[in-house]
Structure 1
Amino acid sequence: MDLIKKIKKNISANSLINEKDRILVGLSGGPDSIFLLYILHNYFNNQLIIAHINHKLRGVDSDLDEKFVRTISQKLKIPLYVIREDIRKLSNENKKSIEEVGREVRFSFFDKTLKVENFNKIALGHNLDDNVETILINFIKGSGTKGLIGIPEKRDNIIHPIINIKKEEILKFLEENKIEYRVDKTNFEIDFLRNKVRNYLLPIIEKEFNKNFKEKILSLSNILKVEDRFLDNLVENIKNDLMEFENDFIKIDLKKFQKLDLSLKRRLIRKAIDYFNRDLREYPLEHIDKVISLENKKTGKEIELPFDLIAVKDKNKIIIEKKRVEIPNFYIEIPDIGLYELAGMKIELTLVEKISKVKDPFTSFFDYDKIEFPIKFRKPKFGEKFKPLGLKKKKKIQDFFVDNGIPKSVRWNLPILLDKKDDILWIVGVRISDDYKVTNLTKRVICIKITLEDFRWIKIFKRFL
């Protein structure tokens, strides 16, 4: 099949480009990206811009790459954006690999440029050989199904129009059409894992084991892609029945979750992590399985995940959330009935004739004459005791939290009310004290109502109410 037809078939089959798309082309100056730019410029009518990153990894050669890209931009009259970043320096400072930092810088730059120009897609020049290398690298690293599928034709707004074209086909096309390109000499050095796979491992496999290895590995990729799509669709259909989505956390119904096959459990956890816009490559299987293991742990058990996420076993849920927001220490003394404001909430105390049936965790009724004013309002302290409504004796507040499934991440931020003697009247939103409840002997009833106004309080109580 003609090379251009193969590319157009891939673009059409995977809905990569439509006539209204405005496309940023990532241009290194190497053969693949030059070939991609040539194809898009000559065979499609979309508006294009070029983005180039000078990684400063190759000294003068990096500067010559940039100069070459500028020449191409001027020749084709396509707008160009360039940044220069010392990737090696950033790698050392952040203790990350050069490849990882390079990827972060690259996509951050691409995304910013899209917004500036109001473009909507990023086209990259990955080819068939790159895909085979990626699959092998992911296999070596112990990747799951998605890693063994390789580079997708499309992911969000990133497209790979020439992913079905072999490197040798690209080089032959450039040579026949006398199109210049730059050669990255580091591609032939055995310093990076990808270069080891490209220049050492793949040639040995093709020579000693199977000359058609690339075709076989891509056949495996296509098989996995179909099955992966089926499982993804299955998870998409069941997720809303199992998961409750909030801005800063996700609750997973434990009873329903436990009935699922392990493969679906793993995909649901990955779906939850993806909800927070985290790079799933940073969450290997061991992290996913640790979250799943919470289903058999005690209430309150927590697991820290990369990039500021935590997973918590609640009474009947698994919660995945961003790391907690600490509430600053607060303290107020309330002399008597009235309206008071503190730390992002209002506290209203009124005398009422009788208890009304209010299903509101932030409204409670007490025997007014049992309370010694002033009432104190603060965070709980480890070790202090409390006599929960319905119990005949006091228990340590930390034991009460555990027994009632109050997540670790919020326990010591909850507001409590105490009387003058430091007896706890109410753990707000949770339980009042049995000592201060309204009985048949009560003469005066006080209603205490809390109104949350600060988003941090709302977030805390949403975790378990």
Structure 2
Amino acid sequence: MYQRVKEYIQRYHMLEKEDKVVTGVSGGADSICLLFMLIELQKELGFSIVAVHVHHGLREGTADADADYVQKVCREQGVDLRIFREDVKKYAKENKLTLEEAGRNIRRIRFGQVLEESGGTKIALAHHQNDNAETLIWNLCRGCGLKGMGGIAPVDGVYVRPLLCLKRKEIESYLAERGISYCTDETNLEDDYTRNRIRSHVIPYLEEQINQQTVEHMADTMEQMRKLGEFVEQETRRHARQCIRYVHGNQAILNAEAYGKAPEALQAYMIHEMLCQIAGRRKDIESAHVRAVMELIEKQVGRRVDLPYHMQARRCYEGIVLSKTTDVDTIEDISAEEPATFRIFERQSDIVIFPKKTYTKWFDYDIIKNTVKIRHRAPGDYLTIDKNGDTQKLKQYFVNEKIPREERDQVWLVADGSEIMWIVGYRQNQKYQVTEHTRRIMEIHFHGGKKDGREH
């Protein structure tokens, strides 16, 4: 089994020698198996490990025992451990979430915190094939697209799932053969949660009455669907660039003529992506909302439809205007050739990892004073260079960076009046960076065949 996990990790390039892996350890069979598997892999691959245990404050007595057990195992194995004690019930009530959702959010917040504080590079989670099968069934029952049919991905950003190649029974056998004990969360045996009912009743029935290899076949199908989903996403983005233009992040215009020429199979995906971009999130953007916008395209100019997150779509002469503002009639005319896309969204409490991509940056939206412009340099341009508020003329920055004079007029700039927020390909203004006090974030993605912020 060790060899299977090792090959699975190598297949998806999950872990490398230089990685520092933050792994969640609840004390249950899955997470304990993952911990011991990582310890064994560490000897061969050379990465380092830090464990995180989150006490949810829900199961009196047994939760304390779980924390004590995890602490004992990590001490015996010489693994660094961080323990967090949380009030999940309070968090769920304050954020109007189920206990399951609240627990998941808090765990992700803490994992991200430890990743940042420890200089970690990956977060390892203990999902396995049965978890994935449960997810697929649940997604299908609620209604989903290709992404939902792909289940849980082996790699998702910094998150890696080395045990997705194993069934639950294999994990339990691995622990039994080595005499490794683990904790049992009694709430997993109750039928209060939908996922528990799928785990306890649906999958056993399918394996006993339909096919013993149900879980494996589902895993194979989900892998195929993920590959297909990646292709569809690529094609969706390609066609969307011809159909949709974004206006300062909180508005978008869908060109009906170009949309009609796009493959019918991709049209719903393009609208869904447009809705998510303007909403600033994906949760609760459903197929019913996509259908409402698609139907609006067939109606007369002036018709409107209300959508989640204070969005409204309106039929205009060009096609559809989608806006998150109260006045959807006011759309500033921006050239479709503008080399960047924008979106504005609320900063969620669980956002701890910011994008580190060269051509995608986040800015504190609420401190921007003017209409953001994408342009080249102009007289009087300057930027803030440190936390003390010290500024520097753009011209001096170009000199210090030894950017050739003949190239300076080609460098793209993101500007708030005369203050430069971002010298694309070079530096982001210190003043506009996202902090713990940020309420709304403007994301700017620069695209279109540029190198080092210059036109080629």
- What is the deviation of 1:409? 5.7
Residue 61 of structure 1 aligns with an amino acid whose one-letter code is T
The answer for the alignment partner of 2:234 in structure 1 is: 233
Question: What is the 5 A alignment of 1:334-373?
Answer: none
The answer for the alignment partner of 2:107 in structure 1 is: 106
- Kindly indicate whether residue 328 of structure 2 is the aligned counterpart of residue 408 of structure 1: yes
SS at 1:408's partner residue? coil
SS at 1:282's partner residue? coil
Tell me: CA distance 1:78–1:147, structure 2 relative to 1, closer, same or farther (3 Å): same
Question: What is the 5 A alignment of 1:191-230?
Answer: 191-230=192-231
* Range with greater deviation from structure 2 (264-273 or 189-198): 264-273
The answer for the alignment partner of 2:318 in structure 1 is: 316
The answer for the alignment partner of 1:306 in structure 2 is: 308
Q: For the residues of structure 2 that align with 1:320 and 1:86, how far apart are their CA atoms?
A: 39
Alpha-carbon deviations, 1:105-156, whole Å to 9, x = none?
2222222222222222211000011111111111111222221221111112
Residue 287 of structure 1 aligns with an amino acid whose one-letter code is H
- Kindly indicate whether residue 172 of structure 2 is the aligned counterpart of residue 257 of structure 1: no
The answer for the alignment partner of 1:151 in structure 2 is: 152
TM-score w.r.t. length of structure 1: 0.65
SS at 2:261's partner residue? coil
| Aligned equivalent of 1:287, options 284, 289, 311 | 289
The answer for the alignment partner of 1:135 in structure 2 is: 136
Tell me: CA distance 1:153–1:277, structure 2 relative to 1, closer, same or farther (3 Å): farther
Residue 241 of structure 1 aligns with an amino acid whose one-letter code is Q
Residue 292 of structure 1 aligns with an amino acid whose one-letter code is M
Q: For the residues of structure 2 that align with 1:175 and 1:275, how far apart are their CA atoms?
A: 48
Q: Which runs of 5+ in 2 are unaligned?
A: 333-367, 375-456
Tell me: CA distance 1:307–1:16, structure 2 relative to 1, closer, same or farther (3 Å): farther
The answer for the alignment partner of 2:57 in structure 1 is: 56
The answer for the alignment partner of 2:28 in structure 1 is: 30
Alpha-carbon deviations, 1:313-350, whole Å to 9, x = none?
443143445x32x7xxxxxxxxxxxxxxxxxxxxxxxx
The answer for the alignment partner of 1:248 in structure 2 is: 250
Residue 293 of structure 2 aligns with an amino acid whose one-letter code is V
SS at 1:187's partner residue? helix
Tell me: CA distance 1:311–1:8, structure 2 relative to 1, closer, same or farther (3 Å): farther
- What is the deviation of 1:309? 4.5
- What is the deviation of 1:158? 1.2
Q: Is the 8 A contact 1:300 1:408 kept in 2?
A: no
SS at 1:181's partner residue? coil
- What is the deviation of 1:301? 4.5
Q: Is the 8 A contact 1:258 1:295 kept in 2?
A: no
- What is the deviation of 1:276? 5.9
The answer for the alignment partner of 1:17 in structure 2 is: 15
Q: For the residues of structure 1 that align with 2:255 and 2:302, how far apart are their CA atoms?
A: 15
Q: For the residues of structure 1 that align with 2:35 and 2:277, how far apart are their CA atoms?
A: 33
Tell me: CA distance 1:15–1:278, structure 2 relative to 1, closer, same or farther (3 Å): farther
Alpha-carbon deviations, 1:237-291, whole Å to 9, x = none?
3333333344334433332112223431222233334546855342221122223
Tell me: CA distance 1:194–1:454, structure 2 relative to 1, closer, same or farther (3 Å): same
Tell me: CA distance 1:269–1:409, structure 2 relative to 1, closer, same or farther (3 Å): same
Q: For the residues of structure 2 that align with 1:129 and 1:92, how far apart are their CA atoms?
A: 30
SS at 1:280's partner residue? coil
Tell me: CA distance 1:252–1:121, structure 2 relative to 1, closer, same or farther (3 Å): farther
Q: Is the 8 A contact 2:129 2:216 kept in 1?
A: no
- What is the deviation of 1:457? 9.2
- What is the deviation of 1:88? 2.6
Cα RMSD for the two superposed structures: 2.8
- State the identity %: 25
Give the number of the structure whose alpha-carbon radius of gyration is greater.
1
Q: Is the 8 A contact 1:23 1:123 kept in 2?
A: yes
Q: For the residues of structure 2 that align with 1:118 and 1:213, how far apart are their CA atoms?
A: 40
Q: Is the 8 A contact 2:315 2:321 kept in 1?
A: yes
Q: Which runs of 5+ in 1 are unaligned?
A: 327-406, 414-452, 460-465
The answer for the alignment partner of 2:178 in structure 1 is: 177
Residue 86 of structure 1 aligns with an amino acid whose one-letter code is D
- What is the deviation of 1:194? 0.8
Tell me: CA distance 1:11–1:200, structure 2 relative to 1, closer, same or farther (3 Å): same
Q: For the residues of structure 2 that align with 1:320 and 1:75, how far apart are their CA atoms?
A: 57
Residue 91 of structure 1 aligns with an amino acid whose one-letter code is A
Q: Is the 8 A contact 2:312 2:328 kept in 1?
A: no
Tell me: CA distance 1:298–1:267, structure 2 relative to 1, closer, same or farther (3 Å): same
Residue 157 of structure 2 aligns with an amino acid whose one-letter code is D
Tell me: CA distance 1:170–1:106, structure 2 relative to 1, closer, same or farther (3 Å): same
Residue 23 of structure 1 aligns with an amino acid whose one-letter code is V
Tell me: CA distance 1:309–1:214, structure 2 relative to 1, closer, same or farther (3 Å): same
Alpha-carbon deviations, 1:67-91, whole Å to 9, x = none?
2222233233333233222223333
Q: For the residues of structure 1 that align with 2:22 and 2:311, how far apart are their CA atoms?
A: 32
SS at 1:266's partner residue? helix
Q: For the residues of structure 2 that align with 1:151 and 1:296, how far apart are their CA atoms?
A: 36
Residue 79 of structure 1 aligns with an amino acid whose one-letter code is D
SS at 2:254's partner residue? strand
The answer for the alignment partner of 1:271 in structure 2 is: 273
SS at 2:115's partner residue? helix
Tell me: CA distance 1:275–1:72, structure 2 relative to 1, closer, same or farther (3 Å): farther
Question: What is the 5 A alignment of 1:366-385?
Answer: none
Q: For the residues of structure 2 that align with 1:133 and 1:198, how far apart are their CA atoms?
A: 6
Q: For the residues of structure 2 that align with 1:278 and 1:75, how far apart are their CA atoms?
A: 45
- What is the deviation of 1:192? 0.6
* Range with greater deviation from structure 2 (289-298 or 40-49): 289-298
Tell me: CA distance 1:301–1:114, structure 2 relative to 1, closer, same or farther (3 Å): farther
- What is the deviation of 1:304? 4.1
Tell me: CA distance 1:171–1:291, structure 2 relative to 1, closer, same or farther (3 Å): same
